[in-house]
Structure 1
Amino acid sequence: MNLKQHAIHKLYQYRKAISTRPYGARGKNLIRCELCLLAQTYCTCNSRQQLVSDNAFLLIMYDDEVLKPSNSGRLIADLIPDTHAYIWSRTQANQKMLALIQDPCYQPFVIFPGEYAYPQQTVVSELKPTALDSDKKPLFIMLDGSWREAIKMFRKSPYLHDLPLLSFTPETVAKYGLRKGSRDFQLGTAEVAVLAMAASGEKGNAEALSLWFELFIAASMFSRSRQSNKDLTPLNQLSEEFKQKVDANLSR
């Protein structure tokens, strides 16, 4: 297997290299794949396929978030070619990241609940043609960390406060049957990306990412199980469903 590394793989290697001690993830004794971070027995890398998309994603990740095997942000980069990732800093914003946000080729949207918007910020719940510049590619900016960390990143990042917010309603979340936390907007990073792609009109890609997320969750649960004899049929079925969805999208 010779898969190309994407932005989050590279950020993971960088963050791991500067760590003073190994990250103590749950199941730290597992032998993990270095790319998907799942147990090697349930590695999904052979099923990974990139999509054709007119969207771009920027993940701003809270310190050690990229080291967590449970992080679903890497699933976005698995499928969407134009995905970027940087570690957040309160005092020194990454200059390459700022240049990306300001790049005239992109139209940035911060995905965050509208109730946290600053007075000068526009809040949209869907990407109507009037909200988009036809010459620009949507750049979905996602704050990747725990909910408390995401709030901190948003509030202490002034370069985000003049950008429009893309905020999803509980009805939109329910429509896609996504799992949620104690509040309606507390979704996994990949789940939020599903909503963003659907809002941009890429329904097929949204469905593909949703299946890829389901496969990730299933493989993670298998990794945590102590059963000696495991029927891999559920994983194989999800993998085949994902492949069929990608093939169907590419054939259009």
Structure 2
Amino acid sequence: MPLTPATPPAHAGHEHAVSRLRATRLAASSKPFVARGANAQRCPRCRLATHLCICALRPQVPTHAGVCLLMGDIETLKPSNTGWLIADVVPDTWAFQWSRTEVEPDLLALLADPQWAPCVVFPPEYAKPGRAVAEVLPPAAATGDATGKRPLFILLDGTWSEARKMFRKSPYLDLFPVLGLHPETASRYRLRRSAQDHHFCTAEVAALCLAQAGDVRAADALDAWFDVFSAHYLSMRRQQPVPLDSPVHQRLYGVLAG
């Protein structure tokens, strides 16, 4: 099979929740955000240098579950942010700027929507007794329960200190269970420094959540998309060519072909 699709998919240039939030955040900024490697001419959709653009490879997979991103102050402005990758792949993704003092009405409306069963994804040791859960309910189609709600994973997208603040200072989240994840491997995220291997990036966490909810193909697609994005991002940083027949690319091609 060819190493890249002949033409980009129809949704390659489609704006999503995180890109719209980024535009809003930029419009409100009093000064420009300067990212590392700012001299690079970047694609506005995938945020990579234009010669490393991966928009033609973007997968988008229908899911039973949805994702709600609460994002730290400048997360949307960082080209290395991986919440963006979730919105690339998962159609039912929402993104909101987190604030300690204000809550967007659209966020509260989403959390109150009866079709969704929200849960906060966070280490359970930070939750009050009785809130922690080990798993989410499987899709209704798998259980035969036509009235079953769809999981809505609430992900706190920011630095670890930001995420802890979001968890502690968002009383509207106290109504929902806290889902703890226990991955068997270390994080593969190498775009920012982390002192702990068990601190997974947002896209990795979302892929684990999707798999647990029964959206296995979407989980695989997001995981593969994350690896390809990371490979191209590091290639841009190191100014080295990226081989389009690498194992991470071949895995993504397999997802696209499936």
- Deviation per CA, 1:108-141: give whole Å up to 9, x if none: 01000000102352x12222459x9852111000
**Does residue 228 of structure 2 align to residue 215 of structure 1?**
yes
Preserved contact between residue 215 and residue 235 of structure 1 (Cα < 8 Å): no
Preserved contact between residue 119 and residue 177 of structure 2 (Cα < 8 Å): yes
- Deviation per CA, 1:63-115: give whole Å up to 9, x if none: 11100001000100001000000100110111101110111110001000000
- Deviation per CA, 1:130-183: give whole Å up to 9, x if none: 9x98521110000000000000011010011121011012xx342xx6437544
Preserved contact between residue 118 and residue 161 of structure 1 (Cα < 8 Å): no
Work out which of the residue numbers 61, 71, 75 in structure 2 matches 1:51: 61
Matched residues in 1 for 2:119 and 2:69: separation? 12
Q: Residues 16, 173 of structure 1: CA spacing in aligned structure 2 closer, same or farther, 3 A cutoff?
A: farther
Matched residues in 2 for 1:15 and 1:114: separation? 31
Name the counterpart of 2:251: 241
Q: Which has the higher helix share?
A: 1
User: If the length of structure 2 is used for normalisation, what is the TM-score?
Assistant: 0.86
Given residue 126 of structure 2, which amino acid in structure 1 is its aligned partner?
Y
Preserved contact between residue 56 and residue 139 of structure 1 (Cα < 8 Å): yes
Determine helix, strand or coil for the equivalent of 2:74: helix
Given residue 54 of structure 1, which amino acid in structure 2 is its aligned partner?
H
Unaligned 5+ segments in structure 2 are 1-7
Given residue 76 of structure 1, which amino acid in structure 2 is its aligned partner?
I
Given residue 105 of structure 2, which amino acid in structure 1 is its aligned partner?
Q
Matched residues in 1 for 2:155 and 2:184: separation? 17
Name the counterpart of 2:90: 80
Identity %: 42
How many residues align? The count is 240
Work out which of the residue numbers 62, 70, 79 in structure 2 matches 1:69: 79
Name the counterpart of 2:16: 6
Shift of 1:239: 3.7
Preserved contact between residue 218 and residue 235 of structure 1 (Cα < 8 Å): no
